[in-house]
Structure formats: C-alpha cells, structure tokens
C-alpha cells in the first residue's frame, strides 16, 4: 500500500471514530476568524460582554425565524453588538436552528473576549461585531476550500460553471429580504456541476450581485491555482458565498421523494484562508 492510500485509510478511520454526530459536543467550525478587530478585547463582565451574551442567547433560543437569517443588535454605542447567523438556503428549519444554536456557543469558545468574530459551519455561519454590519458588503475575511481533484475537461467545465453561475447569481440576487439563495446544476460534458450561491438577505439586489460576481471573478487566479478546475470548491465571505461540486450536495424540491444523502467528507480537501494571513492547511 502506498503512503497516500495509507493516509486515506487513516483519515477514514479517524472520521469513523470521531464523527461529530457520535459525540454530544458541538462540532468545530470548519473555519473561523477572530482577528479582524484585534485593536482591543472586551473585558470580562463588561457591558459589551453582557450585550453579546444576551444577543447570542436570543439567537440560540429563537423559535420564530424560519427563513434562516437571524440578525440582531443589542445595546447602545459604544457597547452595541450587531450579529447575524445565516443558514445555507436549502437546509431544513430544525437543522438550521440546531446549527445556529451550536454556533452561538462555539464562537465564544474559539474567539474569547473578541470584539468581532466570524465562524463557518457547513450549514450555517455566524458573525458579530461592534461595527454596523447590516446592509454593507464585507468581503473579508475570505475563506477558500477546495478539493484537490481536477475536473475531466477544464474548458468544458468552466463554460458550464459560467452558464450556471450567471443563472444562479441573478436568481439569488433577486430574492427577498428574508432569503437570497439559489441552487442548480448544469451538464459539463461527462460531468454535471451542482452549485449553490447565497448572500445575506439584508443586501440589496445590486449589492448581492456584485458580491457574487466579485467572488466568481476570483476563481481563475486565486489561491495558488487550487480552485480553478477543481471538482469541489467553496468560496466564503461574510456577505456572500458560493460552492460547487460534481455531485448533488444540496436539498432541492425535486428531492423530497428521495432525500439526498449528506455530502460525504471530501477527500483531499485543501483549506486556504487568504485573509489575514495566507495559510495552507491540509484537510484529510
Ligand atoms: C475540535 O477541535 C479540538 C481542538 O482542535 C479537538 O480537540 C476536538 O477533538 C475537535 N472536536 C471535534 C468534534 O472535531
Ligand atoms: C486580546 O487577547 C488576546 C488573547 O486572547 C491577546 O493575545 C491580545 O494581546 C489581546 N489584545 C489586547 C490589545 O489586549
Ligand atoms: C464577573 O462577575 C461575576 C458575577 O458577578 C463574578 O463572580 C466574577 O468574579 C467577575 N469576574 C471578573 C473577572 O470581574
Ligand atoms: C433535506 O430535506 C429533508 C426533507 O425535508 C430533511 O429531512 C433534511 O434535514 C434536509 N437536510 C438538511 C441538511 O437540511
Ligand atoms: C443549544 O445548545 C446547548 C448546548 O449545546 C444545549 O444545551 C441546548 O439544549 C440547545 N438548545 C436548543 C434549543 O437546541
Ligand atoms: C469597535 O471596537 C474597536 C476596538 O475596541 C474600536 O476601535 C472601534 O472604534 C469600535 N467601533 C465602533 C463602531 O464602536
Ligand atoms: C438539473 O436541474 C434541473 C432543473 O434545472 C432538474 O430538472 C434536473 O433533475 C437536474 N438534474 C440532476 C441530475 O440533478
Ligand atoms: C434584519 O433583517 C430584516 C430582513 O432583512 C430587516 O427587515 C430588519 O430590519 C433587520 N434587523 C436589524 C436589527 O437590522
């Protein structure tokens, strides 16, 4: 057995042993960032901390919101905390609520005493700041994840991606103030590309469009070539995100009769966090 097969085997074993669903603890974020406001930390028992805790607990216990966008503000300047949690547009309400709940606890663990933080799970993300974050496009921090495998025919694939993305981008941007999300597929020769795009729904149609176009424009040149022509990629910023795979990974209305399986943990994942410091972490 060569070493790459051994690594794969060990990885699978690791996944089997430590799969999050087998443990009661909250999952780890796939990515998080708490360095964007490192000027100062809030102190324990400060007004800012009380506001943040109260906001996060409202978010965690909310039973009204069923469209996947939780945006809240608590307190007054200079201790005002603004936050949102955004669920992926296709996830079920219970999956969303439990993800948001987890994120409200996890963010305090991984970013203790931070004025600002951003945490990303597969099904939801959370962000808080003392700055105003609603109605503004924020492209930092930007997070990239890519499968290492290449598509069969990059030219054909890119054309399909372009066509699909143009459609999805327009559809998501024209969503309402509760949800701006679109999913779809496009045949790419022997492969089929499946993609989702999403903006926080507080953005205007124009803001959402330009955020997504900006993200899409990054593809050819970003991330040391780790994104272009790969079979699975996620590009994530606080304001908008996109993902494609060559297999179906999202829940669509067509699948109600035969629910799709959740995406298997991708093999050969590369994780690149461009901002603030370029790092390369090998996932499995
Ligand atoms: C989360 O990360 C911590 C520290 O890196 C690790 O010890 C723990 O096993 C991880 N938990 C899960 C559920 O993956
Ligand atoms: C904030 O806290 C971190 C540790 O959590 C520490 O490294 C950093 O120096 C602190 N920043 C300031 C300005 O106190
Ligand atoms: C924060 O407040 C709690 C309860 O009032 C108190 O027990 C704790 O010592 C305080 N911690 C700090 C660091 O002031
Ligand atoms: C996909 O849809 C099914 C049926 O509505 C639901 O049970 C399942 O939780 C959904 N998956 C996710 C990740 O939301
Ligand atoms: C939220 O998560 C906490 C800690 O994981 C758990 O104790 C609590 O029951 C959860 N709340 C809801 C409404 O799921
Ligand atoms: C947010 O907090 C940082 C660090 O304490 C501070 O420099 C900045 O002025 C604050 N911004 C607002 C809008 O309160
Ligand atoms: C691709 O999307 C179309 C709708 O645009 C749908 O009818 C079709 O079933 C999808 N194909 C696959 C293989 O998922
Ligand atoms: C939250 O978002 C909704 C819908 O986008 C908007 O109507 C509402 O004003 C926002 N709330 C806050 C506190 O910004």
Task: Report domain extents, the chain.
Answer: 26-129, 143-253+264-273
Of all protein residues, the one whose alpha carbon is nearest to atom 1 of ligand 3 is 45
Q: Report the mean per-residue pLDDT for the chain.
A: 84
Q: Using an 8 Å Cβ cutoff, are 98 and 61 in contact?
A: no
Give residue 253's pLDDT.
54
| CB under 8 A, 24+ apart: contacts of 71-75 | 71/134, 71/200, 71/202, 75/47, 75/48, 75/51
Architecture of domain 143-253+264-273: 2-Layer Sandwich (3.30)
Give residue 5's pLDDT.
59
Given the CA of residue 80, which atom of ligand 6 is nearest to it?
14
When pLDDT is averaged across residues 114-131 and rounded to a whole number, the result is 95
Give residue 270's pLDDT.
45
Give residue 225's pLDDT.
86
Residue 1, pLDDT above cutoff 60: no
Give residue 11's pLDDT.
54
For the Cβ of 192 lying below 6 angstroms from any atom of ligand 7, the answer is: yes
For the Cβ of 101 lying below 6 angstroms from any atom of ligand 7, the answer is: no
For the Cβ of 37 lying below 6 angstroms from any atom of ligand 2, the answer is: no
Q: Using an 8 Å Cβ cutoff, are 198 and 89 in contact?
A: yes
Q: Dump pLDDT digits (tens) for 4-58.
A: 555 554 454 454 444 444 334 678 999 999 877 666 799 999 999 999 999 999 9
Taking the CA of 101 as reference, the closest ligand is 5
Q: Dump pLDDT digits (tens) for 128-138.
A: 999 999 999 99
Superfamily, domain 26-129? Gnk2 domain, C-X8-C-X2-C motif (3.30.430.20)
For the Cβ of 96 lying below 6 angstroms from any atom of ligand 4, the answer is: no
E strand intervals along 80-162: 81-87, 117-120, 124-129, 143-147
- In angstroms, the CA 94 to CA 176 distance is 22
Residue 149, pLDDT above cutoff 60: yes
Question: How many CB atoms neighbour CB 75 within 10 A?
Answer: 17
Of all protein residues, the one whose alpha carbon is nearest to atom 12 of ligand 2 is 40
- What is the whole-number distance in angstroms between the Cα of residue 132 and the centre of ligand 4? 33
Q: Dump pLDDT digits (tens) for 85-115.
A: 999 999 999 999 999 999 999 999 999 999 9
Of all residues in the chain, what percent carry a pLDDT higher than 70? 79
For the Cβ of 44 lying below 6 angstroms from any atom of ligand 3, the answer is: yes
Given the CA of residue 44, which atom of ligand 3 is nearest to it?
13
In terms of residues, how long is the chain?
A: 284
Instruction: Write down the pTM of the prediction.
Output: 0.83
Of all protein residues, the one whose alpha carbon is nearest to atom 1 of ligand 1 is 28
Q: Three-state secondary structure along 185-249?
A: EEEECCEEEEEEEEECCCCCHHHHHHHHHHHHHHCCCCHHHCCCCECCEEEECCCEEEEEECCCC
Evaluate whether 26-129 and 143-253+264-273 have a shared fold: yes
pLDDT tier, 257 (very low <50, low <70, confident <90, very high otherwise):
very low
């Amino acid at each position: 057995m060569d070493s790459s097969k051994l690594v794969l085997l060990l990885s699978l074993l690791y996944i089997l042993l430590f799969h999050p669903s087998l443990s009661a603890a909250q999952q780890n974020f796939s990515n998080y960032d708490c360095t964007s406001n490192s000027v100062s930390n809030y102190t324990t028992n400060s007004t800012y901390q009380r506001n943040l805790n109260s906001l996060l607990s409202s978010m965690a216990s909310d039973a009204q919101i069923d469209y996947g966008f939780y945006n809240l503000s608590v307190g007054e300047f200079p201790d005002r905390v603004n936050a949102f949690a955004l669920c992926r547009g296709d996830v079920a309400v219970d999956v969303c609520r439990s993800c948001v709940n987890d994120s409200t606890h996890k963010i305090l663990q991984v970013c203790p005493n931070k004025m600002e933080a951003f945490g990303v799970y597969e099904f939801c993300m959370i962000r808080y700041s003392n700055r105003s974050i609603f109605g503004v496009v924020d492209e930092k921090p930007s997070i990239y994840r890519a499968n290492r495998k290449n598509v069969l025919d990059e030219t054909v694939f890119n054309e399909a991606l372009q066509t699909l993305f143009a459609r999805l981008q327009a559809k998501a941007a024209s969503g309402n103030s509760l949800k701006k999300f679109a999913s779809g597929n496009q045949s790419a020769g022997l492969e089929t590309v499946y993609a989702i795009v999403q903006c926080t729904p507080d953005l205007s149609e124009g803001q959402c469009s330009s955020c997504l176009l900006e993200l899409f424009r990054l593809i050819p040149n970003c991330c040391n070539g780790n994104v272009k022509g790969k079979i699975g990629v996620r590009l994530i910023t606080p304001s908008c995100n996109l993902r494609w795979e060559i297999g179906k990974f999202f829940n669509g209305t067509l699948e109600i009769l035969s629910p799709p399986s959740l995406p298997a943990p991708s093999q050969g994942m590369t994780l690149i966090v461009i901002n603030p410091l370029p790092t390369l972490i090998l996932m499995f």
